[in-house]
Amino acid sequence: MADLDTDVRYIKGIGEQRAKALGKLGIHTLRDLITYFPRRYEDRTAIRSISSLSPDEPACVEAMVASPPTLSHVRKGMDLVKVRAVDASGVLDVTFFNQTWLKNSLRQGETYLFYGKADGTSLRRQMVSPVVEPVGRRELTGRIVPIYALTAGISRLVLSRSVRQGLDACADILPDALPDSVRQAHHLCRVEYAYENIHFPESPEALELARRRLAFEELFFFTIGLRRLRRRRDTVHVPPCQAVDMETFYRALPFSLTDAQRRCVEEAVADMRSGVPMNRLCQGDVGSGKTMVAAACIYFCVKNGRQAALMVPTEILARQHHTGLAPLLEGLGVRCALLTGSTPAKEKRSIVAQLADGALDLVIGTHALISEEVRYADLGLVVTDEQHRFGVVQRASLSAKGACPHVLVMSATPIPRTLALILYGDLEVSVIDQLPPGRQPVQTYAVPGSYHARVYAFLRKLVAQGRQAFIVCPQVSESDELPDERKAVTAYARVLQTEVFPDLRVTFVHGKMKPQEKDAVMSAFAGGQADILVSTTVIEVGVDVPNAAVMVVENAERFGLSQLHQLRGRVGRGAHQSYCILISDNRSEETRARLKVMTQTTDGFRIAEEDLRLRGPGDFFGARQHGLPGLRVADLGCDTKLLREAQEAADALLEQDPDLHAWPATAERVQMLFTQSADMMN
């Protein structure tokens, strides 16, 4: 009998080749397979007649193939299969692109279910590349269909059948780590029912029961883990730091810190003097000056005779921090170094040796800081920047390099204050709620696509004044395959370079590039070697280009408000007035309300609260925004009531049994969830 750690290649019906493709999705074991949850659902239960199909509204239609399918070769790489289908109400002309096998699999006189968007007249409708299957099969039509993130070699049907085989293989061995008393008290379904209906829902009601059960248990286990982390930290004692004259540091700055920055420094210093390891989140809006708070804490730590490490997610951000901080800190006697994956071997050996013997006080770098060969003489402070890119375990890996070092986490991601306690439940929270004086708010406008010509003219005007611009494209595909951001970005950049701005320097960057390629493009842009950078949200974090004065976001309705705010934060970093232009042709009331918020405020915390309010309970059949790393089902924007329930249940269980001696399965799941959280954010 299989267990949940069984390699998927040994699951009946999967085999070596399919297992290799599933591996690209991070699916290696039976557990990975059954917990690879759909990202959204489509309700395909309603069957419509051809004449009642509405334009641009996806629907299922049951129709008979009235004539043999025809195959035509339009050009190289473009084949069309055309077929005419009919029902009692009308005619449906269907065209399939590059699906030549349908020429022989669709048979005249047979009835099929077609799912897609229709256009044309009421007498003759048309569909392009709909989903099609014989009546009665009910795998892709006639039911609520789960939509999974896919990869090359794994279609929606293949993945769905693999999940079916996985659920069948573990039908009798699914462990229930949720204590039965908790499950019954909160009216939650059994684990077998939950997994079956999260993947193959019998009805909307069954799907909601399954989702509620799985969301509750995720929040329950996560709460227990955070509570135990905090308790463990509170029982550890370290030698308290001694007082340091911080005025020396403040006088060395070319500007004065805001009251909010000083308050955050004082809170961190108090932690480090308390005799208990600091574990603090410094949360501040884009441009609020978190880096200077970190620099002050580093100075305080080094003046206490200990070392500090600053870990960031990208090499370009590491270099920016080193360029900005090293001259300041070295002038105050702090010996600094930069360590990344591309540091030359000879230089790396030297840095590693100096860290080990205490000749260096501060090292700034990427994941290289937690590599096995790196040792510290006396690591006293760990600073991680952009916390949402690092997992709990990664943070712990760096902390493990020292004897219970102090930890300072920095994040520019606006989080509603009501949610910060769960997302960073093992941390104390400091908030920088002031911007440095003199920083001009970014002027923000929401416009329709018909404004493109005006937007381009505005960009040309700013570039003529010596400024630079970002243009961000969303991942545009809604097909079965993963969106190909590479094609979207390169194609748009090519059009801009050849047709719109032939006399300007247009470059592009996307997430499919190797890290060194991305860094090279961004560094060149930051150095003024390009006028316009076309990108996906890969530039959301860590690019500091003071000369960039305009951010254009195409299809802005596809982004969350907090993400739009992060993108807007890429401009307005210099002395020039900056602008953010949000382009969207979606005129729905919800989109207008969301984009209006962006034009009315630059307060990231207010934006985050508005995002939560506007999304309300959420629409589970639409796209969902996952708030918490490691949570695959729960949505903090929609599940705040469930979160409170789960927290109360977790606290009650820990009060009975703080070490979970009576609940070993619960303890195991808590450990597993935290490990997955780190893996998902690598």
246 within some domain: no
pLDDT for residue 122 is more than 80: no
pLDDT for residue 413 is more than 70: no
Q: Give 417's pLDDT tier (boundaries 50, 70, 90).
A: low
Q: Give 638's pLDDT tier (boundaries 50, 70, 90).
A: low
Residue range(s) defining the domain that contains residue 128:
46-142
301 within some domain: no
Element (H, E) at 472: strand 468-472
Q: What is the mean pLDDT of residues 449-468?
A: 95
Tokens read off for 340: 């990344």
Q: What is the mean pLDDT of residues 1-20?
A: 83
Q: Supply the CATH number for residue 578's domain.
A: 3.40.50.300
For the stretch 259-277, pLDDT in tens is 999 999 999 999 999 998 8
Q: Determine the Cα–Cα distance for residues 504 and 460; give it in Å rounded to an integer.
A: 9
Tokens read off for 453: 């010509």
What pLDDT does residue 50 have?
A: 92
Q: Give 419's pLDDT tier (boundaries 50, 70, 90).
A: low
pLDDT for residue 147 is more than 70: yes
556 within some domain: yes
Last residue of some domain: 142, 174, 196? Answer: 142
Helices (H), 235-337: 247-252, 259-272, 290-303, 315-330
Last residue of some domain: 570, 601, 632? Answer: 601
158 within some domain: no
Please state the three-class secondary structure of 121-168 as a single string: CCCEEEEECCEEEECCCCCCCCCEEEECCCECCECHHHHHHHHHHHHH
pLDDT for residue 487 is more than 80: no
Q: Does the reported pTM lie above 0.75?
A: no
261 within some domain: no
pLDDT for residue 468 is more than 90: yes
Q: What is the mean pLDDT of residues 278-291?
A: 83
Q: Give 386's pLDDT tier (boundaries 50, 70, 90).
A: low
Q: What is the mean pLDDT of residues 514-530?
A: 86
Q: What is the mean pLDDT of residues 391-419?
A: 71
For the stretch 321-351, pLDDT in tens is 998 899 999 999 999 999 998 899 999 999 9
What pLDDT does residue 483 have?
A: 42
Q: What is the mean pLDDT of residues 500-515?
A: 88
pLDDT for residue 476 is more than 50: no
Q: Give 236's pLDDT tier (boundaries 50, 70, 90).
A: confident
Element (H, E) at 549: strand 548-553
Q: Determine the Cα–Cα distance for residues 365 and 354; give it in Å rounded to an integer.
A: 15
pLDDT for residue 609 is more than 80: no
Tokens read off for 494: 């090519």
What pLDDT does residue 191 have?
A: 93
Q: What is the mean pLDDT of residues 97-101?
A: 90
What pLDDT does residue 369 have?
A: 85
Query: Percentage of the chain surpassing pLDDT 90?
Result: 44
Q: At what angle do helices 315-330 and 290-303 cross, to 10 degrees?
A: 50
**C-alpha triplet 36, 39, 45: angle, nearest 5°:** 110
Query: Would strands 532-535 and 111-116 be described as parallel, antiparallel, or unpaired?
Result: unpaired
What pLDDT does residue 415 have?
A: 65
51 within some domain: yes
For the stretch 173-215, pLDDT in tens is 888 899 999 999 999 999 999 999 999 999 999 999 999 999 9
Q: Which is more confidently placed, 289 or 295?
A: 295
Last residue of some domain: 125, 142, 159? Answer: 142
What pLDDT does residue 97 have?
A: 92
| Chain centroid, CA 224 distance in Å | 24
Q: Give 443's pLDDT tier (boundaries 50, 70, 90).
A: very high
What pLDDT does residue 127 have?
A: 92
pLDDT for residue 481 is more than 50: no
Query: Would strands 78-87 and 59-65 be described as parallel, antiparallel, or unpaired?
Result: antiparallel
For the stretch 342-380, pLDDT in tens is 899 999 999 999 999 999 999 999 888 878 888 999 999
How many domains, the chain? 2
Identify the CA nearest to 191 among candidates 167, 216, 166, 210. 210
pLDDT for residue 218 is more than 70: yes
Q: Give 473's pLDDT tier (boundaries 50, 70, 90).
A: confident
**For the residues of 273-288, what is the DSSP string, one character each?**
TTTS--EEEEEE-TTS
Q: Give 569's pLDDT tier (boundaries 50, 70, 90).
A: confident
In the predicted model, what is the mean pLDDT of the chain?
84
Q: Determine the Cα–Cα distance for residues 671 and 676; give it in Å rounded to an integer.
A: 9
Q: What is the mean pLDDT of residues 530-552?
A: 83
Cα distances (angstroms) measured from residue 22 to each of 31, 36, 167 = 13, 10, 16
Tokens read off for 623: 């796209």
68 within some domain: yes
Q: Which is more confidently placed, 396 or 91?
A: 91
Q: Which is more confidently placed, 231 or 476?
A: 231
Q: Determine the Cα–Cα distance for residues 206 and 204; give it in Å rounded to an integer.
A: 6
pLDDT for residue 428 is more than 90: no
288 within some domain: no
Q: Supply the CATH number for residue 83's domain.
A: 2.40.50.140
Q: What is the mean pLDDT of residues 668-679?
A: 65
Q: What is the mean pLDDT of residues 92-116?
A: 93
Q: Give 475's pLDDT tier (boundaries 50, 70, 90).
A: low
